[in-house]
């Protein structure tokens, strides 16, 4: 780790110089250090940082957090205490690696802009959850595992969860046990790429479980979905992935790392396509925050509002292409979902195949 960091002294604060790498899925710039290194250099969550890239670009006043506690489109340095790198990203925005014109071998110099400038936001919205199943009421809540509903979606047919492949948060075994319990026949893995899984198998870093059974028979589909929801790539990768999933037999499971954002957006797209309203989509998205953080609207309306304002509502507006002044409560999500899928390269008959695989013929009540 220390080979990737240089240490210098300045009159005002310590200076950290870190190597950069491109995130394999999100295409964002990542510092090849973790939070423990940041702490040793005097940086803490809630600080405001100055970034000076080796290509000459300088950015002042970058919040450093353990979650995306900023408005959409704003730049943030974000990591969790257990992560091996620090992500430099625009919240639900364009990939920073390309935006900053970075290349392999570039470095980043980090200095303090203002100590604790964003400490209030950090303390108010910090979202740290336990990785011990004993701290949860059920295997389902620990794994963020549940069926999605709304509109014409078939009941108990499409499920969502935390990662079925990655065990950094200690959930892989539990998710795979639930896959067997609920009879999952096809899995859409948003967070992994095909080549990543092949490398894991070649290295022997593989656990034989329900995912492996599906993967070996072509019923587990890794698509490596990024988070830039406005991009052509996001539309294309998600649309093609959903179609590939629906060409297999159900019940279906959709997952990413924590089953929170990418999974939440994919499920919202399907809920919208099925004719669910905003209330149903919001309830499903917020269930993750209740499972992991105990966040409930009746107990913490400010916290819920922050989650919706920063991480959910703006994404829906982009994905379903709401007009200026149009509210989520009055949106025709069916038309918006079909437009998204068409932009992702699907033909009308392919969209119809998704509807046929996932939905009942008659409208159900949300």
Q: Give dist(CA 143, CA 167) in Å, integer.
A: 11
Q: Give dist(CA 60, CA 113) in Å, integer.
A: 7
First-to-last alpha carbon distance for the chain, in angstroms, is 51
What would the two tokens of residue 128 be? 């740290």
> 3-class DSSP state for residue 156?
coil
Mean pLDDT of the chain: 90
Decide if pLDDT at 85 tops 50.
Answer: yes
Decide if pLDDT at 72 tops 90.
Answer: no
Q: Give dist(CA 342, CA 335) in Å, integer.
A: 11
Chain mean position to CA 338: 22
Q: Give dist(CA 146, CA 140) in Å, integer.
A: 7
CATH 2.40.30.90 domain range(s) in the chain: 2-125
What would the two tokens of residue 35 be? 């939070």
CATH of 133-358, one of 3.40.50.720, 3.90.190.10, 3.40.50.10860, 3.10.180.10: 3.90.190.10
Residue with the larger pLDDT of the pair 207 and 117: 117
Q: pLDDT tens across 240-281, in order?
A: 999 999 999 999 999 999 999 999 999 999 999 999 999 999
pTM confidence score: 0.84
Decide if pLDDT at 183 tops 70.
Answer: yes
Q: Give dist(CA 266, CA 347) in Å, integer.
A: 19
Rg of the chain, C-alpha, whole Å: 21
Confidence of residue 362 (pLDDT cuts 50, 70, 90): low
For a pLDDT cut of 90, what percent of the chain falls above it? 73
Q: Quick one: pLDDT at residue 205?
A: 64
Q: Quick one: pLDDT at residue 316?
A: 96
Domain 2-125: homologous superfamily in CATH: Bacterial fluorinating enzyme like (2.40.30.90)
């Amino acid at each position: 780790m220390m080979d990737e960091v240089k240490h210098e002294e300045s009159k005002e604060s310590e200076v950290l110089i870190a190597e950069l790498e491109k995130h394999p899925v999100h295409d964002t710039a990542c510092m090849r250090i973790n939070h423990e290194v940041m702490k040793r250099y005097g940086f803490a969550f809630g600080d405001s940082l100055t970034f000076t890239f080796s290509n000459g670009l300088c950015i002042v006043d970058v919040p450093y957090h353990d979650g995306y506690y900023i408005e959409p489109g704003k730049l943030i340095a974000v990591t969790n205490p257990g992560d091996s790198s620090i992500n430099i990203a625009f919240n639900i925005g364009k990939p920073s690696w390309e935006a900053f014109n970075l290349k392999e071998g570039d470095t980043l110099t980090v200095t303090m802009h203002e100590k604790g400038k964003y400490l209030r936001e950090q303390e108010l919205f910090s979202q740290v959850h336990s990785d011990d199943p004993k701290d949860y009421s059920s295997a389902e809540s620990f794994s963020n595992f549940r069926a999605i509903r709304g509109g014409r979606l078939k009941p108990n047919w499409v499920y969502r969860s935390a990662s079925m492949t990655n065990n950094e948060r200690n959930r892989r075994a539990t998710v795979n046990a639930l896959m067997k319990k609920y009879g999952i026949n096809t899995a859409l893995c948003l967070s992994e790429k095909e080549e990543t899984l092949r490398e894991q198998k070649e290295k022997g870093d593989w656990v034989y479980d329900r995912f492996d059974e599906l993967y070996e028979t072509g019923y587990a589909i890794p698509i490596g979905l990024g988070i830039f929801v406005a991009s052509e790539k996001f539309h294309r990768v998600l649309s093609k992935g959903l179609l590939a999933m629906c060409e297999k037999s159900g019940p279906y499971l959709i997952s990413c790392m924590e089953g929170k954002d990418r999974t939440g957006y994919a499920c919202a797209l399907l809920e919208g396509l099925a004719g669910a309203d905003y209330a149903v989509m919001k309830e499903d998205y917020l269930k993750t925050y209740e499972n992991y953080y105990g966040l409930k609207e009746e107990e913490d309306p400010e916290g819920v509002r922050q989650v919706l304002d920063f991480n959910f509502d703006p994404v829906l507006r982009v994905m379903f292409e709401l007009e200026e002044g149009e509210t989520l409560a009055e949106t025709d999500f069916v038309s918006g979902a079909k437009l998204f899928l068409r932009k992702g390269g699907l033909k009308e008959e392919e969209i119809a195949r998704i509807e046929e695989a996932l939905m009942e013929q008659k409208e159900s009540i949300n």
